[in-house]
Each structure stands twice: as structure tokens, then as C-alpha cells.
Amino acid sequence: MGSKMIQGFVIGTIVLLVLTAAFWLIPRPDPETGEPSQDGSTDVAVLPSDGGSDQPVESDAPSPPTVEDTSESVGDRTEPEQVARAFVITYPGDIQSLADPTFLASLDRVDAPLLEQVTDLSVEQVDHASGDIYERYAFTVSGTYEGVEMQVYSIVVARPTEPAEGGGAADNTFEYKVHSFDWSPDMLGDDEDPGPAANLVSPLTAQQRGDLMSETRTNVIAQVLTVDPEESDEQRQARLDKIIVEPTSATPPMSRSGRYAMRTEIHSQVYATEPGGAIIISYNGSWVDPYDAEYHGTWALTATIVRDDNAELVVQSVEETPTSDGNDE
């Protein structure tokens, strides 16, 4: 009798062990799908406090880039992001090798110490466009200012669209240069609540870069080319003195007799700033006698732009550039 009880106890114990093993070996449902795990593994939540790893879970989403010293790896500067990062690291230091000459010229008397108060800078590409003249990339730069994380400014880097002579589009080895700088809305603020950058003298912005060229053409170059038959030479000069700092000797194309002006057109306008010099914009066009189409030619004017005593960009001078097309002498 006793032996039968012992035998039953042993058999019951074995059955219990088998059932327990089966319970742990059967694949559990996946917590995300409700289906059994295909590899038979069990999912365990690991917290830093229980000795597990506290590394973040890998994701396909890109993590925010951080600014690292790329001064050695920028190389020929044909990578726009490398140029942007090098600018962020360097500015307001010496950025002559990174900046387009026109942008570099706009830095005269600019207020930049505010950037020294910004830490933890990061760069993010936000736009890309390719036009007839330039291929452009826009980047936003974020950081921590007075303990608050925010977007600080944005820059545009660009290079000529056309590759060097004889090369294809894939052979474009022109370097990217910084073309403009815009403080963020957070840094500028508004009329009721001005931000820390609201009243600073700032570098050339993306909007200014286009406006400066068109406004100079409309407000200055067109006036130089205008002939008012009622004006004396003194009156003409007085009119131009209001829009040009230095007196100009540039004269509009006139008829052979000098009694009336030619009909003029502007065909091109381009920044022609030399490294280390003032902002230069070159305007070129054509003229024709409204009464004699066979009498025609070309004209070219160059505007030099500097900052005045109030740090505003103004036209300092307008000069004629010799041409030799058509009937002009």
C-alpha cells in the first residue's frame, strides 16, 4: 500500500514538472501583434535600475545632427552641409574662405557677439533649389540661448549651377559659399516684444540679397539713365546726389545731336564683388535711337554699395564701364 502511494507521488511529480516545462517553452504572444513570437524568445522590459542597458532603441528616424569641428574635412567645400557646419563653428570668426564675396562685404560693422551666448548648436537642412545661376541649400541653426532651446538663425549656401567649362552636371566642382544669414523669428521678436537680435546690425539676409539688386536698378541705375530735357546739368546732379553718395560722371546714351535720349533696356544684373572689397553690382543693357534703329549700342554701369554712418547699405558710386558693341564710341 505504501509503495503504491510512493509510486503515485513520483508519477504526479513527473507530470507536474512536464507541464511546467511545457508552459515556459511554448512561444508567448508578441505584445505588439498578439501573435506568437517566431523566434521563441520572451520580451523583457529592461530598466537602468535592474542592471540592463539604458541605450536608446534604434530607429529609422534621423537623430538631430550635432555640430562637430569639420575644419579639417571640409576640403574643397563641394559638400553644402560641410560648408554650413564649418560656418557655424567659425562665425563670428574669420569666414573669408567660406563666404561669398558679397556676403563677406556685408559683414562690415555687423553685430555678432550675441552668438557667443548660444551653446549646443545643431544644423539641419530645410530646403534645396537649383536655378539658372545658382544651386542653393538652406540650413537652420538651432541652439540654447539663456537656457531655452530655439532656432537661432538660418543660412543659405550656394554655388554656380553650371560646372566648369567642358564638364557635365556631375562634374561641378565649384565650391559652395555662404550667401545670406537670417536671424530666426525667436531672436528677432516683434514690435511689442523685441527679441535679442531685433536692433542689431545684421549680415546680408536672403531677402536683402535680391532686393538690393532690384532696388538699386530701379531707384538708382534707372535714374542715371533718365534724361529730363527740362533739367540743367546742376539740377540733374542735385537729383542724383540724393540717391548716390559720391557725384557720378555717368551719362545716359544720347542721340548724335545730343538733343534727346536713347531708348534703353537692362539685360543683366549680377554681383561682381571682389574678395575683401565693397559690394559691387554690375548692370548691362542696350540702347537704340527711337528714330533710327540702325543707331544702337550697349551700355554698362557699376554700382558700389557700402554701409553709411547708420550702418545702412547705400549706393556710394555709379561708374560707367566701357563697351564696344554697335555704334557706341
Instruction: Check pLDDT > 80 for residue 170.
Output: no
| Sign for the pseudo-dihedral over CA of 273, 279, 280, 283 | positive
Q: Does domain 211-320 have CATH number 3.90.1570?
A: no
Please tell me the predicted confidence (pLDDT) of residue 165.
Answer: 56
Between 267 and 70, residue with greater pLDDT = 267
- Quickly state the pLDDT bin for 328 (edges 50, 70, 90): low
Torsion sign, CA atoms 207, 212, 217, 218: positive
Confidence check: pLDDT of 224 > 50: yes
Omega before 113 cis (within 30°)?
no
The architecture CATH gives domain 80-203:
Roll (3.10)
For residue 255, what are the CA distances in angstroms to 225, 322, 327? 13, 18, 11
Query: Identical fold at 80-203 and 211-320?
Result: yes
Average pLDDT, the chain: 80
**Cα–Cα distance, 206 to 7 (Å, whole number):** 92
Query: For residue 126, how many C-alpha atoms fall within 13 Å in the half-sphere facing its CB?
Result: 13
Scanning the structure block, which residue is given the C-alpha cell 550697349? 298
- pLDDT one-digit tens code per residue, 53-85: 233 323 333 334 455 444 444 555 889 999 999
Predicted confidence at residue 159, as pLDDT, reads: 95
Mean pLDDT to the nearest integer, 308-328: 86
Boundaries of every domain in the chain? 80-203, 211-320
Distance between CA atoms of residues 185 and 196, nearest Å: 10
**How do strand 279-289 and strand 263-271 relate by DSSP bridges?**
antiparallel
Q: How far apart are the first and last CA of the chain?
A: 136
Return the minimum-mean-pLDDT range out of 66-70, 143-147, 166-170: 66-70
Least confident of 111-115, 181-185, 322-326: 322-326
Give dist(CA 313, CA 273) in Å, integer.
Answer: 14
Grid coordinates 521563441 are at which residue? 40
